[in-house]
Amino acid sequence: PTHAYIRNMRVLPTATLAAAAAASTLLLLAHASVTSRRLALPSLPAKPAAAAAATSTVRVLRRDVPVMERMRRRRARQVGAFTPPRASWGAPRTIAAAASSSSSSSSSSPKNQLEWITQHSEIIPDAFSMEGVDYTPRSGTVSGNLILRLMDVEGFDFIEDEIRPAMTATMTDAMFDGYIPEKRIKSERRHLYAIVASKILKRVSGKVSIEIDPRVAHDTAKTLEEVRVLASDCKRVGIDVKEKIIFKIPATREGISAAGTLTKQDGFCCQMTHVYSLAQAIAATEKGVAVVQPYIGRVNDWHKTHQEKNADAVEYAASSNPGVELVRCIYNYVKNENKDTKIMAASIRTPEDALAVAGVDFMVVSPAIIKTLALSDVSGAPDNSILGEHVEFNPRELQTEEFGQIAEDLLESEIKRSTDAVEKLEYNLANTALGTM
């Protein structure tokens, strides 16, 4: 028996060596994952008590969700159904028949202001769901702020359905490409964007725009790398990138240059965001980008505070709404020069602004304004859009050597705002993973 035992001991390690080695490797990687997440964002200070309380809803325990509800969600995921955000479950449709989808034909008579606008422009809600409005958007968007709102609304479900798959994909990359702690959370964020985009594409028939990392906005080479890696992540989740994804790139000089390369060499659709001057829009259209995105409300804010301090502030002094006037100028330039670039108006803060820019290709509108438009009688809509009114440009307005003070100021402040949102998201990803492992 003793000799038999020894023989078995000699055979056993050989038979199980591969499995034991694999198990040891996974344990080491798991340990490294936890350690690296604590070091992933070394520049951030310790999380204060107020911030911890603000993000406590992210760590929703499974016991907080009723058992039958968890079973229903699990069955929905198994059959491929997409679970809507928790806030919209069972919510009453307060405007059940007030608004129609954007597929309404132009020949039908609009019954409200929302229908009137959708006959001229495509509306993109700046939210994941349209609770309380019978309106079906055709396009969607993914950004750091949207992900943060989803984490707050969906809590544990979002961790299980979106964050964990992103963690798994990132761990797989680490096993094959090498483990680099400082890049881990950034990679996980990109995977998460791709997963959320794939879910939105199941709801819409058009494209989804994805915000790139704003921290690379002033570096052409890093912008190219960021977009190409993000495109690869989208392909891994089954997205046809060239047909379904638009990459949102800040309209810095470096960003516009990178967008031109991505458009011509890679065949990607690029959207220049943070457009605050005609010069930026002209520079982008000359590169052949797919979309330029001017911001009405932010332009108005800047003009209110700079009207007597800077020459650029009097450029649209004759208009009571400089933001709308900027959209009108960009629209006229694009149409007069026969450019293929589309215009997406954003930072629309009132129904009046939405009505004023009807005729642009796209407009990003909040659910609150969409509801107001759906409940407003069509008699309040203008007979014609002001966008078609002729605009005379002087040589100074058509130059692209300088973007203007308004563009310089707002580019920096809004890129910083976007950066803060992305860093907060990465911070939450690290802490959420630690809290649920």
H or E segment to which residue 344 belongs = strand 342-345
Q: Angle 253-261/278-286 helices, nearest 10 degrees? A: 20
Q: Which of 272, 154, 262 is nearest to 211 (CA)?
A: 272
* Strands of 122-125's sheet in order across: 122-125, 362-365, 342-345, 291-294, 269-275, 245-250, 208-211, 140-142
CA-based torsion, 10, 16, 17, 23: positive or negative = negative
Encoding tokens for residue 4?
Answer: 């038999």
Confirm if 116 and 376 have CB atoms less than 8 A apart. no
**Residue 208 pairs with which residues in a beta bridge?**
140, 245
Contact 269, 245 (CB under 8 A): yes
Q: What beta strand segments (E) does 97-244 contain?
A: 122-125, 140-142, 208-211
- From the list 248, 339, 342, 371, the catalytic residue is 248
Residue 248: active-site member: yes
Tokens 């950004």 map to which residue? 143
Contact 59, 151 (CB under 8 A): no
Question: Annotated active-site positions, please?
Answer: 248
